[in-house]
Chain A
Amino acid sequence: MSTEAIAAERPKRNYNALFGLTLLALLVLLWVILSLATSSFASANNISNLLRQGSMIAILAVGQTFVIITGGIDLSVGAVVGFTTVIAAMLINAGVPVFAAILITLLVGVAIGLFHGFGIVKMGLPPFIITLATLTSLRGIGLLMTNGNSISINNDAFQEFSRNSFVGIPNLFWMVILVGIPAYIFLHHSRWGRYLFSVGSNAEASRLSGVNVQRTIYMAYTLSGLCAAFVGVLLASRIGIGNPTQAEGWELQAIASSVIGGTSLFGAVGSVHGPLLGAFILATINNGANLLNVNAFWQRIITGLLIIVIVYFDGLRRRGK
């Protein structure tokens, strides 16, 4: 029996390693095709634009992936982004130093994540429910706070940040690197990362092995909330307003990026680089479709089809075919 297992295991592992490369190849292929098909795609301006478009979803997808690896889901991230644009805008307009305003906004994200952890661990609510509840409530709280209006941010330096570049690369993309590298080390080289996987694979076995399952769940949702609040700051900087209805549906784009990047919604399978690639594949499709004058409605359909195709092939791979 063991010899069979050995024989079956080899090609599977290779395929597994190939998956990340396949995504990268898909991204490059899309870029090559679009460069040939349109004159404007390969321009520096458009590439910068594309990187900006993809960056925020990419950061959300990283936080989302931590949660999905534990076997959960965080539907609130889009609402957290919208809500935290309001927080950041109000703080900055109230004269709070930008640095402190950002820090407080991030802490709000942490608090929301802790609340999710509390709901799941202490109240026994399913992740889907508790994060769905905050999704709708946060939008409501934000609308109450702003009376339904947008808040214009009157701080040019804050807004400059998201438009500027550093060594030719948009600042927003640097933020992806700023989040991605610690996230990678955290997930793949720290024991907390290991515990995310083990809890997602088998919470009971992890508990019996001495893993603090509750703390691990708190951690996952807190990190997701933190990533979302960070994106909220970036979005506030980019559009210069605080508006609680911003980032509608971003949670689904983050989940889609994560899944396209090889994360299993059943938990215990995922990486940091996969969701990042997934987010930029989605951004490229949207960007390319715009340039090709494809009806914007088609973009959503294409995204849906892409999710089906990639997850289907990934499922085949996992079943060892």
Chain B
Amino acid sequence: MTSTAQELHPAPTLQPGRTILELNGLEKRYPGTHALKPVHLAFKAGEIHAIVGENGAGKSTLIKLLTGVMPRTSGEVIWEGQPAALATPHEAMALGINAVHQEVVLCRHLTVAANMFLGEEESRFGLLQQRAMVKDAQKIINGLGFDLPAHVVLGDLTIGQQQLIAAARATVRGTKLLIFDEPTAYLTRKEADQLFKLIRRLKGEGVTIIYISHRMEEVFELADRVSVLRDGTLVGTRDIAETNEPELVKLMINRSIEQIYHKEHFTPGAAIVETKSLSGKGFENVSVTVRAGEIVGLYGLIGAGRSEFVTTLYGRHKKSAGQILWQGREVQVNSEHDAIRLGMALAPESRRDQGLCLNLPVGMNLNLPIYKRISSNLLISGAKEKAEADRQIADLRIKTPTRNALASSLSGGNQQKIVIGKWLAHGAKLFIFDEPTVGVDVGTKAEIYRLFSALLSKGAGIILISSYLPEVYELADTLHVFRRGKLVATHGFRTADHEDILTQALAEKQEKQGGQT
């Protein structure tokens, strides 16, 4: 099979403006969470439809359902007038539904051309037509206006360039609906412009685009219509010409603040840790103080530098400038080991990758930081080990049959309680919680917040990182807003509007300083 770039381009059969995809009560439940409440939505052929919402609002769930990665719980999907099961990714692709993910899911070790034609290689007499594929791939790439070579290994390109290749690849597969999931997260402005050009061009060819983004200015630059998801519910769809940024922001965050935010105020004590103009990879010039008995919230989008800041504080990465003062004394934190010895504890963002030993028992996970304390010389005191584990399971109300059950058998919320709870027995002074309630149901959230209060009452300080504004808003005594590696604003407890904070975290142009405290 020899194909030319022309033949590979999509040939949409529908007239622009007609409904191509209709969701009738599309719904997804996980054990313990209602990730997507019944959604009714119709996409028109050839439109750019933006979907916005906070983290955990259900955007990724929606994509996974549409691309066949996960089965839906109930509801109906009508594709070009026919019901579609969308049970497998293959089925979705066969229908012409493709997605470009935030993280590039291509083969980094193969060439750009090989990736473009992966699964649809050109061959003659069973032999790959490598040279022809490179030529065709180059033609396609040039045709799209990208200045990228087709013969190089994909992994040698920047993440942004790989993203463009991923987009280009999706266009050669007879795509009728193309979903972009936060495509510009890793792109430079120039790369983003190239991508927008590609998106507009696809639209011109009749391809329907679903564009998911945090960035308001992109939504207004690109989209024809925009839908807002909040807590798994579709709260509104607007024509872009008839809406504005404040309205969308309001739709995104206007939720009733449930009584889950358990906030006790303690009189702040002495400073536990203080950073002075700390800089490192991904953030610069950050000065933050955490005192005993207070929660310091760090808010910002993913990639804004919050996680990089705390992992540097925790000794994971080297600082490039600035000072760290621990209880008033300057210290060097060169490793996690140093941090733990000082009295810091980090409950990391990804509990599966960084927080838990999944195939080990609950009891061992809980005791991991304190084995030194519960062993005399070299031998572990079996009685102490059991007692500590059982006490923590009871204190934290971890739902597990025994301390010997494997951590992997627990629900997400209970796993998270282990990640947090294992530090309680350790007796740390400073607790760093990175997105502690992601993928956790409301009841467990409330319990985790109560743990915060228990820690504060013992004189500990907490750094709370969250992309979920209500969480930091309702819990933090001091709230710092990060954007693009910089600390851009600082607020007291409930001293600013949600809208202001969100604007500070998102805005590119307005350098508005929030209520300084």
Contact = CB atoms under 8 A, between A and B. Distances in A.
B13 interface: no
A268 B409 CA distance: 16
A10 B336 CA distance: 37
A18 to B, nearest CB: 15
A25 to B, nearest CB: 23
A123 interface: no
Interface string B1-44: 00000000000000000000000000000011000000000000
A167 interface: no
A194 B360 CA distance: 10
Given A197-B360, A198-B360, A205-B356, A2 B410 contact: yes
A189 B380 contact: yes
A201 interface: yes
A268 B375 contact: no
Given A190-B378, A194-B364, A194-B380, A208 B409 contact: no
A178 interface: no
State the majority secondary structure of interface residues on A: helix
B177 to A, nearest CB: 34
A10 B375 CA distance: 29
Interface residues of B, number: 39
A195 interface: yes
A2 B412 CA distance: 10
Interface in B403-430: 404-406, 409-411, 414, 422
Contact of B410 (A5, A185, A201, A208): A5
A13 interface: yes
A19 B68 CA distance: 39
B359 interface: yes
B411 A194 contact: no
Contacts of A1: 31-32, 411
A206 B336 CA distance: 10
Contacts of B371: 191, 194-195
Contacts of A210: 336-337, 340-341, 368-369
Contacts of A269: 359
Interface in A21-68: none
Contacts of B404: 13
A207 interface: yes
Contacts of A248: none
Contacts of A192: 378
Nearest to A266: B359
B399 interface: yes
Interface string A176-201: 00000000010001111011011001
A185 B375 CA distance: 13
B61 to A, nearest CB: 18
A2 B443 CA distance: 13
Contact of B364 (A13, A198, A204): A198
A9 B409 contact: yes
Interface residues on A, range: 20 to 34
Contacts of A185: 379
Given A2-B414, A8-B409, A212-B337, A191 B356 contact: no
B311 to A, nearest CB: 10
Nearest to B33: A1
A97 to B, nearest CB: 30
A5 B405 contact: yes
B476 interface: no
A73 interface: no
B399 A2 contact: yes
Interface string B455-473: 0000000000000000000
A189 B379 contact: yes
28 contacts: A1-B31, A2-B399, A2-B400, A4-B31, A5-B405, A5-B411, A6-B401, A189-B382, A191-B371, A191-B375, A194-B368, A197-B357, A198-B368, A201-B359, A202-B356, A202-B357, A204-B353, A205-B348, A206-B357, A208-B355, A209-B369, A210-B336, A210-B337, A210-B340, A210-B368, A210-B369, A211-B368, A269-B359
7 smallest CB-CB distances across A and B, nearest first, come from A201-B357, A191-B371, A2-B399, A210-B340, A1-B31, A209-B368, A6-B401
